[in-house]
């Protein structure tokens, strides 16, 4: 259950917003609020994860501090999101990792890197490290394949968390293709990071699209890297083409483009967080953000470094370190900021289902007013 004080404060805030409705055009949250007269804990979890933290509502709110209502919806929703991450985590005992994110990620990454460095075979001459199978000369193929277990564990934990979120928020059991398409469009375009159309309030009351663009770079960079891994698996297990591959091969091009995009996105987001106003933010959630961004940055940087130096004597050590970082990243995915993408996508899907009902309900009223 959500903490009583936070739940009550959040409920009071959304009830004030429901009466005011000044911020209706900023994002999906406020139209979703208008559909309700009462707000359960599940509704609050849904609304908190539907929020994209663009902060337009905070700087436009006439009831924000120093008003006696002290309405700070972005911070309340940020605190709620952290509680939902812990609430839906699987296994439950590992939910404590969210509040020890930095320590857990650091220790896990160190242990994984030490393990793979210890496991790595002695480096062979540089000339021998350029041919097919050079990576397997350092780390046996069976061990590399076994690292996929960490990824499967992460997918299982994330899937269970998503199911728990869907059930707890009383999301509809029946879905249609139009709702899926609408939600997918919102996810892929990050439409709600546009605020009211001019972007987010990253630092103060001025608008900017930079946060949206850097999120795009990180998001699509991550997808390109995943596509690179999948393509490499197809190359090897279907066509029999063993890594490492030439630079202008599809896996390498996808991985390079994805890694560079990730580094650009992460650098931009970190810069925005360093200069942003901390008042409408959750301090603990900011620390979790930094932890995830640093882990992603190291994963992308070590991958690009491995690509640049794979024909040198440093290849063995770099491969071991990169694999250690990747495995630690997989194991941390269900217990770091990555989960916000899962729950936010689920919240957008629920919102997409609600929107047709809202349109049907408001249609006759609009027509009557026009007549």
Is residue 305 very low, low, confident or very high in pLDDT (cuts 50, 70, 90)?
Answer: very high
Q: How confident is the model at residue 214 (pLDDT cuts 50, 70, 90)?
A: very high
Q: Is residue 138 part of a domain?
A: yes
Q: 333 and 291 in contact (C-beta within 8 Å)?
A: no
Question: Does 107 reside within a domain?
Answer: yes
> Distance (Å, rounded) from C-alpha 53 to C-alpha 51?
6
Q: Is residue 195 part of a domain?
A: yes
The reported pLDDT for the residue numbered 366 is 34
Alpha carbons 16 and 9: distance in angstroms, whole number: 11
Tens-digit pLDDT profile for residues 232-291: 999 999 999 998 999 999 999 999 999 999 999 999 999 999 999 999 999 889 999 999
Average the pLDDT over each of 135-139, 209-213, 220-224 and give the range with the smallest value. 135-139
Q: Which domain holds residue 116?
A: 91-366
Kindly indicate the confidence band of residue 357, based on its pLDDT and cuts at 50, 70 and 90.
Answer: low
Selection from 116, 60, 76 nearest residue 302 by Cα: 116
Indicate the number of domains in the chain. Answer: 1
Q: Please check whether residue 77 lies inside any domain of the structure.
A: no
Average pLDDT, rounded, for the chain: 90
Residue 177 lies in a domain: yes
* pLDDT above 90: percentage of residues in the chain: 75
Residue 247 placed within a domain: yes
pLDDT for 122 equals 64
Q: Which two tokens stand for residue 275?
A: 């200069």
Can you give the pLDDT at residue 361?
Answer: 45
Q: Is residue 217 part of a domain?
A: yes
């Amino acid at each position: 259950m959500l903490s009583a004080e936070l739940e009550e404060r959040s409920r009071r805030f959304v009830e004030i917003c429901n009466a005011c409705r000044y911020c209706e055009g900023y994002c999906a949250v406020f139209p979703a609020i208008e559909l309700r007269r009462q707000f359960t804990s599940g509704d609050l979890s849904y609304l908190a994860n539907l929020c994209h933290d663009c902060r337009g509502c905070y700087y436009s709110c006439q009831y924000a501090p120093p008003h006696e209502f002290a309405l700070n919806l972005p911070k309340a929703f940020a605190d709620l999101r952290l509680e939902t991450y812990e609430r839906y985590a699987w296994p439950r005992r590992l939910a404590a990792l969210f509040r020890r994110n930095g320590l857990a990620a650091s220790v896990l990454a160190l242990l994984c890197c030490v393990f793979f460095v210890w496991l790595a075979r002695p480096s062979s001459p540089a000339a021998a490290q350029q041919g097919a199978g050079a990576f397997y000369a350092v780390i046996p193929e069976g061990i590399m394949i076994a690292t996929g277990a960490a990824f499967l564990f992460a997918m299982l934990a994330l899937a269970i968390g998503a199911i728990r979120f869907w059930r707890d928020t009383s999301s509809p059991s029946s879905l249609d293709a139009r709702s899926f398409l609408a939600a997918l469009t919102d996810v892929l375009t990050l439409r709600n990071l546009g605020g009211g159309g001019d972007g987010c309030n990253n630092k103060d009351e001025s608008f900017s699209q930079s946060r949206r663009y850097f999120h795009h770079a990180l998001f699509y960079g991550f997808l390109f890297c995943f596509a690179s891994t999948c393509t490499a698996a197809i190359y090897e297990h279907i066509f029999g083409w063993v890594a490492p591959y030439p630079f202008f091969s599809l896996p390498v091009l996808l991985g390079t483009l994805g890694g560079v995009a990730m580094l650009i996105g992460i650098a931009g987001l970190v810069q925005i967080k360093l200069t942003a106003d901390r008042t409408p933010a959750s301090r603990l959630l900011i620390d979790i953000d930094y932890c995830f961004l640093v882990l992603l940055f190291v994963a992308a940087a070590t991958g690009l470094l491995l690509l640049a130096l794979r024909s040198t004597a440093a290849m063995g050590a770099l491969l071991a370190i990169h694999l250690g970082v990747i495995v630690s990243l997989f194991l941390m995915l269900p217990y770091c900021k990555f989960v916000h993408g899962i729950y936010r996508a689920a919240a957008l899907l629920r919102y997409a289902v609600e929107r047709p009902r809202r349109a049907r309900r408001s249609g006759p009223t609009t027509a009557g007013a026009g007549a």
